[in-house]
Chain A
């Protein structure tokens, strides 16, 4: 009997089976693709974290332990690949006499480096000017001393005479924070900034003058680590602990690699968060879609079941029939879905694997397939079982029956969900939307899944509210619908509205599904667009503009050089920006001098970068009152500043080469600024700084190219200026800034999500509607037999299309808009910098509408064409 039934279903109702399998395939493909995304994301995060670390471990030799023994212990570790010994000494101060004046600094650090250090750890030093070896000065130290290669610097020593050395080169220390960390100290007692004054000496010279200081062993590890950052972190931390145990207290490990992996595992947790926020609604939607596709034949299935029961089939036989149908569609859908996911994975991530290892691939594909089978069971088997238990044969034969209000609607579940969403959202906002908490040194990360409840409840409440509204419009609003459809259905409008009203539940389900699909597309696309926008803003903040020309420290290039740069092909505008160092109290901070009236022509200043006014208003203040200054929130707190307060900074006067106090007036807070560091800095009027310091020397030129050909323009400028200045373009910076989530992985997720959103919108609109119409082909055949012409049928079917499209798109747009706002807020932690506005990808959204409406229109046209001339087989059934 099962075989006969199955063959009959395949032969007579293939669309119903295939439609259900397609819905399952979409859900399986989406889940498996997202699994692929997660696995790929984690692997690239680990790789990127490892790549970004120059010295994996800084092993501090404890006094008075034997450094040679610790070195042997380090070399004995199987993970260790490269080793170098670095000595740390202290100096009470440095001084240099240049250009007729003597500059003196405060205390500093003197490093002793072995000759092969630069080749062993190439990322630790970057030569700015002069030689690669010999006595080297850190960039800021050189600026403080006004020293250049060839100058002599005096290094003071405690209890001994000063040492005079000749500067061979000036270097940047890109990893200064980790290099000068206090190994083993808790987070709170780490130095807030690396030392201002650093001299690097060859190891032999250091031994002559500073022997007896602290010693570190810098270590490079084997980078064959687990691809999951959390697992890699655990392994690296365990190895460090092992070394410390072996050394029996003689060594303490500064674990830079673990710190980088710690950050990566936070990114991995965010990737997981994104999976939950952006992926699960899609999978859930695909599940609902499947259930709706299966339900489109529910009336017929119930009638068939009732007939079989009347003919003596037992309940167990009927359940077996439904189970076989569910298994067939589930297996077919899962196979199709896994195949599609493999293709999507290949196209988006360059890998068809669903995980980074065979076991994770098996888990992801297996879990996705199981979800597919569960959806099939829920969509096909459960309704059949329910019908068997609750309905009589007569009730089963009824196709319309009464339309009872579901229990959730009677008890107002939609309103409760929306109120719940608001409450959760408000409570989440109190902790600043911190979803991922990764306490330093703790191997596990906690993700606040509670915050997901806000968007989830909004999604649920919005979907149910859309159901209630659509049901109300088609039910009680029938007279209004009839009037509205008059131009389309003409004198049939009353009959059409009546028919739609009595058969409204499938249409309402299709409307809600379309609304949820559009909402998914809107929220995903908006989130992705905002994310891209902010990643671009991050790149702009780091680089300053499309192309940035950074002058060498101590250079005296004036703002007039901007005219030369503006002649380079591809350059639209050039803006000079001063970069100085200024003391506020004992704190040395970066000071940026800008031309407030024109700075916004070359770089985007978002309102979110400032507090106390918009970007335009604060730049207006700097312009109107040149002694105005923007400071960091930390400085405001430390110095108890109020708007209008005077702030005296100490700047080097170019005329006297001595520091002088320059008064500014505090007008607002700046958190981010192009080219500025992440920590504290000042922004002031360039003309005022030039007047008060006697120098208009420019630190960098920000070059606007209109966002095009940045690499080419950067090359042309570099060849024009030669090696005297460093030229960087935003294209290069884009790949190196931000978290690994920003630069690598979201692009793949975006492609997967947006692609699925389009498929879901088209399927929700077209396929569900088409199957619903197909189930009524007998009614259309009767109409045709009664004399309905093509225009009558077109009016009738297009009326349903219109109601579905208008209600679905409007509800989807409204829900998508609300959900986007909430998602961007709740996922604030993913954005760097946080967005001030939501970016709306209009082109994509318009294409979603076009595809959804196109699918509906195609279904309408095809159905009209098919039913206008009913097949003889259908007529014979009449």
Chain B
């Protein structure tokens, strides 16, 4: 069995201090391995996005320990751009860059050979059926197209861990299914883990495991899936 990608032990994240402090994540213990295909479900404000940010290394826990033993042998995933792919729930493309530039960004920031970067970006766009948009600017795209470009950006970098925050929230069912297909195929082919935060039971149902969050705590059925 391969090394876990992320391990969390008693992780908590509190915003602010004193009486106005907000506990977003509380005492979460979990392990994400390369085989993880999990849907992170829970009501709005339950802490799903914060947990994804913690797993991605974008945020720092206020308690507990978090480590990334399977991501390039380093302690922190941000040391190696592209090893963790994040799909945000809001618009996350850089407005001044074309679709192709946006998709190529993680590769340009990483150490991929420069020559093939843009062809990989176009391939990823093609997987989502939007290769024709590569020269457009984000403001020229619809909400659904924008989200698919964001997914393509993750796929192009072939990460070891994909964390998607409501990736289909703005898509119709058909397009949502296409996006999920692309994500699952890419993760299967690249032996990458996938954690998807979603409200959509259909989307959640396409993943073998479901992690439930409530009031910042990870509850059922189990926090450890391998």
Contacts and interface: CB of A to CB of B under 8 A. Distances in A.
Interface in B77-107: 78, 80-84, 86, 88-90, 92-98, 101, 104-106
B58 A502 contact: no
Given A782-B92, A784-B58, A787-B110, 14 more contacts: A398-B139, A400-B137, A491-B108, A491-B114, A492-B108, A498-B98, A499-B101, A785-B58, A786-B86, A786-B105, A786-B106, A870-B58, A875-B53, A878-B89
A779 interface: yes
Given A783-B105, A875-B53, A401 B139 contact: yes
B57 to A, nearest CB: 9
A788 interface: yes
B78 A399 contact: no
Contacts of B88: 785, 878
A788 B97 contact: no
Nearest to B59: A872
Given A787-B106, A878-B88, A499 B139 contact: no
A502 B96 contact: yes
B17 interface: no
A782 B149 CA distance: 14
A397 B148 CA distance: 20
13 contacts: A398-B139, A491-B108, A492-B109, A502-B96, A502-B137, A782-B93, A782-B94, A785-B58, A787-B80, A787-B81, A788-B81, A872-B53, A878-B89
Interface of B: 15, 49-50, 53, 56, 58-59, 78, 80-84, 86, 88-90, 92-98, 101, 104-106, 108-110, 114, 137, 139, 153
A779 B139 CA distance: 14
A863 B207 CA distance: 41
A648 to B, nearest CB: 83
Given A400-B139, A872-B15, A872-B59, A787 B109 contact: yes
Contact of B90 (A397, A398, A786, A877): A877
Q: Which 6 A-B pairs have the closest CB atoms?
A: A787-B81, A499-B96, A878-B88, A503-B96, A502-B96, A398-B139
Nearest to A873: B15
A878 B108 CA distance: 21
Interface in A481-525: 491-492, 495, 498-500, 502-503
Given A498-B101, A786-B109, A400 B95 contact: yes
Contact of A498 (B53, B58, B80, B97): B97
Contacts of B105: 495, 783, 786
A500 B93 CA distance: 16
A876 interface: yes
A146 interface: no
A698 to B, nearest CB: 77
A300 to B, nearest CB: 12
A779 B78 CA distance: 17
A875 B86 CA distance: 12
A387 B220 CA distance: 52
Contact of B94 (A499, A792, A876): A499
A166 interface: no
A788 B137 contact: no
Contacts of A499: 94, 96-97, 101
Interface in A391-445: 397-401
A492 B96 CA distance: 14
Residue of B95, B98, B139 contacting most chain A CB atoms (<10 Å): B95
Interface of A: 397-401, 491-492, 495, 498-500, 502-503, 779, 782-789, 792, 870, 872, 875-878
A97 B94 CA distance: 102
Contact of B82 (A495, A502, A787, A878): A787
Most chain B beta-carbon neighbours within 10 Å: one of A397, A401, A783, A785: A785
Nearest to A788: B109
A878 B95 contact: no
Interface residues of chain A: helix, strand, loop or mixed (majority): helix
A491 B82 CA distance: 16
A286 B215 CA distance: 52
Nearest to A878: B88
Contact of A789 (B78, B101, B104): B78
Nearest to A501: B96
Nearest to A877: B90
B205 to A, nearest CB: 26
Contacts of A401: 139
Contacts of A784: 58
B90 A878 contact: yes
Nearest to A399: B95
Contacts of A785: 56, 58, 86, 88, 92
Nearest to B84: A787
A264 to B, nearest CB: 59
A399 B137 CA distance: 10
Q: Which of A779, A785, A786 has the most CB of B within 10 A?
A: A786
Contacts of B97: 495, 498-499, 502
Contacts of B83: 787
Contacts of A875: 53, 58-59
Contacts of B114: 491
Given A495-B101, A499-B96, A786 B81 contact: yes
Give the residue among A492, A784, A787, A872 with the most B Cβ atoms within 10 A. A787
Contacts of A788: 81, 109
Contacts of A495: 97, 101, 104-105, 108
A878 B153 CA distance: 15
A870 B59 CA distance: 9
Contacts of B94: 499, 779, 782-783
Contacts of B106: 786-787
Nearest to B85: A786
Contacts of A782: 92-94
Contacts of A491: 108, 114
A297 to B, nearest CB: 15
Contacts of A503: 95-96
A876 B82 contact: no
Contacts of A878: 88-90, 92
Contacts of B90: 877-878
A400 B94 CA distance: 11
A521 to B, nearest CB: 32
B109 A792 contact: yes
Contacts of B153: 786
Contact of B96 (A400, A789, A870, A877): A400
Contacts of B104: 495
A498 B153 CA distance: 18
A876 B49 contact: yes
A784 B101 CA distance: 16
A9 B53 CA distance: 28
B140 to A, nearest CB: 8
Residue in B50, B58, B96, B114 whose Cβ sees the most chain A Cβ within 10 Å: B96
A624 B182 CA distance: 97
Nearest to B114: A491
Contacts of B96: 400, 498-500, 502-503, 779
A498 B104 CA distance: 13
B92 A787 contact: no
A877 B92 CA distance: 9
A784 B78 CA distance: 9
B100 to A, nearest CB: 10
A872 B57 CA distance: 12
A256 B96 CA distance: 72
A36 B96 CA distance: 47
A493 to B, nearest CB: 10
A870 B86 CA distance: 15
Contacts of B15: 872
A499 B104 CA distance: 14
A399 B59 contact: no
Contacts of A400: 95-96, 137, 139
A53 B97 CA distance: 73
A142 to B, nearest CB: 86
A401, A499, A876 pick with most chain B CB within 10 angstroms? A876
A803 to B, nearest CB: 14
